[in-house]
Structure 1
Amino acid sequence: MIKSFNELKKAVLENSNFILTTHVIPDGDAIGSVMAFDNYLKQNGKNVTIINHSPTPKVLQFLDDKNLIVVFPDEPERLAIQIENAEVIILCDANEYSRTRSMEDYIRKSSAVKICIDHHTGLIESEFDIAVCNIQYAATCQLIYDYLKFDNENFINHQIATYLYAGIMTDTGSFRFPRTTSEVMRICADLIDKGADPVLLHENIYDRMSKPKLNLLQRFLKSFEFHFNDEVVTSHVSERDFKETGAELNDVEGFTSYLMGIENVKMGILLAEFPKGVKVSIRSKGNIPVNELAREFGGGGHLNAAGVVFDKLPTGQIINTLLKSAEKFFNNKLT
């Protein structure tokens, strides 16, 4: 990592105008990483704009209390010019330009130095000028923490500590996923010492279920179907469910925990319809590589947590396609 850290630091020192972005439908690690790196760059006197394809989920908007993040589809012409004129574009918590959706072509065409900071599998290093990536990390925010410690620990102020803790907490499933190591816990202890409030962050992200989300949860729970001798459970929420409950797409965050909390279930699949497609979240236990399953359809992720966005197709068709592909992970044929 030292070589890539040095390359990243050199790019920071030698340039002034930066664009930060992350993947479509951002999670806590995505928002935490762009917010933390934005703060770091500004401490270095840089001009920074965070441009994302998707709006920030309501549950994470408190992290961006100054509304620094702008949404590309809201102002495509103006923001396309900014991307074109940037000196450096940094893709956080994603390693494929396609994950930026509407921004992809503009980023590819830009002459800017392109940097990837990420912890997912599937990196093609030739796509970037600098790749600060390691799949052993529990979160991109953990990777950024190590980089900041490498550069100068004093950069980790209470705001950055808050952003990084939020990203690590969410990507480890509140410190219960397999990559929750003793090192992760030591890092989080240090972030608390530097100003992160673990109680407030947990309350803001996990303990504020709205009535629309509660009503959506009821419909989600009724959608369960079991396969492969009850080792796989599938579920879905429809556009109609969102409309009738008043819930939003990001309200399904955390729903996969209900799937994986069922006795004997080894894989859970959640489909969530939105106007332009279907978001699929896949979770597993043990050595079932759901990232490989997601990658077959243009998605990606980790061994036990992955996702993919399908074009607008019937949910039943998508479920059948996923199950057919997942047969190889189970001894029983499709049932």
Structure 2
Amino acid sequence: MNKYKQIEAAILAASNILITAHKSADGDSVGSSLGLLHFIEKLGKKATICHPDKAPDFLDFIDLSPIITMDQKPEKVTKAFIEADLIFCLDYNSTDRVGKEMQVLLEAATCTLIMIDHHQDPQGFTSLTISETSASSTAELIVELIEQSGNEAILDEKIGTPLYLGILTDTGSFRFNSVKPRTHEVLAKLLAADVKHHLIHELLNDTNTASRLRLQGFAMSQKMEILNENTVAIIPLTKEELATYDYKKGDTDSLANLALSIKGIKVAIMLSEGDGTVKLSFRSKGKDNPVNTLAAAHFEGGGHINAAGGMSELSMPETLDKIKSLIPEYFPV
């Protein structure tokens, strides 16, 4: 029996299924969670989705109501973990990626744990692991689950819409080098299931707010630094600057990619200050400029070769100094 058939069997045997994903929700973690939920429901079972925190506002166009978050309803999340006899770990491969509160619950769980993920270097904390680094996204692997378990006939618009969203966002609208021929085959299956791809693009990309655009304009014109012989761009935004532009979660998500689009830039780093921490977003071009190693070694993070995240408990000036001191080592010119 292949692993995907084993997962189907585990779903059918379970009474209380829990779906989890990583902290700082993105399109792939949200899309793969919702897609898996609707697939499980099509199999005649029920499931609960628990995430560490709320998804960014720009994903509000999709129905997020099935998602319970630890930061808003800790009692319900705790109860779901205690009652679960099957837990899915989607789009993450180490327990610290779910935040400290959920990490305690996850590591205390004694039931069956299943990982479905596409990041490098998975921890061995699950009973069954699907770890495919060649996949464009976890959402793509949920489509593989549906197909390889023999259930492709039940793939419909409700299941496919969040999965399309997950693939779309994790591939940068299909422009990252993670896109393979198989990715487009999967997309074709979703379109055949009547997924309205043009509406997803429109609802995702054409819903800017004036404050978001003003923040992005300020960041690019006033805050961006070009370093390392014009190959690295850094954009630091302080807590006060974010507040000035009425920052909402997700407003800065495209800034690193925007800086990376500048001719000659090979690496872009976005820093945003919160309460006692600085969040870092790394983007790069090419296999010769891996950002996941830098994020993992120095900023408690990780991710893909060309897209990673991390955090720092240093002040913004100290974090900036640290980043600048590491650039020549990791991205020599």
Q: Same fold (TM over 0.5)?
A: yes
**Structural mapping, 1:135-150, within 5 Å:** 135-150=133-148
- Report the counterpart of residue 304 of structure 1 in structure 2: 306
Q: Secondary structure at the match of 1:271?
A: strand
Counterparts of 2:332 and 2:257 in 1: how far apart (Å)? 24
Q: Deviations for 1:277-311, whole angstroms, at most 9, x for unmatched residues?
A: 22211011112111111111221111111111223
Q: Deviations for 1:197-244, whole angstroms, at most 9, x for unmatched residues?
A: 121101111111111211211221121112211111100222112222
- Report the counterpart of residue 319 of structure 2 in structure 1: 318
Residues 53 and 72 of structure 2 are in contact (CA less than 8 Å); yes or no, is this contact kept in structure 1? no
Deviation at 1:120, TM superposition (A): 0.6
Q: 1:225 to 1:243 in 2, by over 3 A?
A: same
Residues 228 and 327 of structure 2 are in contact (CA less than 8 Å); yes or no, is this contact kept in structure 1? no
**Which ranges of structure 2 fall in alignment gaps of 5 or more residues?**
none
Q: Secondary structure at the match of 2:259?
A: helix
- Report the counterpart of residue 156 of structure 2 in structure 1: 157
Deviation at 1:35, TM superposition (A): 0.2
Q: How many residues are matched?
A: 328
Q: Deviations for 1:306-334, whole angstroms, at most 9, x for unmatched residues?
A: 111223x32222122233333223335xx
**Which ranges of structure 1 fall in alignment gaps of 5 or more residues?**
none
Normalised to the residue count of structure 2, the TM-score between the two structures is: 0.94
Counterparts of 1:77 and 1:166 in 2: how far apart (Å)? 29
**Further displaced range: 78-87 or 279-288:** 78-87
- Report the counterpart of residue 229 of structure 1 in structure 2: 229
Q: 4+ runs of 1 displaced by more than 6 Å?
A: none
- Report the counterpart of residue 291 of structure 2 in structure 1: 290
Counterparts of 2:327 and 2:9 in 1: how far apart (Å)? 44
Q: Deviations for 1:158-214, whole angstroms, at most 9, x for unmatched residues?
A: 111111111111111011111222321222122112121121101111111111211
Over the residues paired in the alignment, what is the CA RMSD in angstroms? 1.5
Counterparts of 1:78 and 1:13 in 2: how far apart (Å)? 24
Q: Secondary structure at the match of 1:257?
A: helix
**Further displaced range: 257-266 or 7-16:** 7-16
Residues 12 and 45 of structure 2 are in contact (CA less than 8 Å); yes or no, is this contact kept in structure 1? no
Residues 51 and 71 of structure 1 are in contact (CA less than 8 Å); yes or no, is this contact kept in structure 2? yes
Counterparts of 2:276 and 2:39 in 1: how far apart (Å)? 35
**Structural mapping, 1:202-221, within 5 Å:** 202-221=201-220
Identity of aligned residues (%): 28
Match of 1:80 among 66, 78, 90: 78
Deviation at 1:96, TM superposition (A): 1.4
Letter in structure 2 aligned against 1:83: F
**Structural mapping, 1:255-266, within 5 Å:** 255-266=255-266
**Structural mapping, 1:27-66, within 5 Å:** 27-64=26-63
Deviation at 1:77, TM superposition (A): 2.7
- Report the counterpart of residue 91 of structure 1 in structure 2: 89
Letter in structure 2 aligned against 1:153: E
**Structural mapping, 1:104-143, within 5 Å:** 104-124=103-123, 126-143=124-141
Q: Deviations for 1:47-90, whole angstroms, at most 9, x for unmatched residues?
A: 3111111101111122225x111111222233212211210111
Residues 219 and 237 of structure 1 are in contact (CA less than 8 Å); yes or no, is this contact kept in structure 2? no
Residues 300 and 310 of structure 2 are in contact (CA less than 8 Å); yes or no, is this contact kept in structure 1? yes
Q: Secondary structure at the match of 1:226?
A: strand
Counterparts of 2:197 and 2:2 in 1: how far apart (Å)? 33
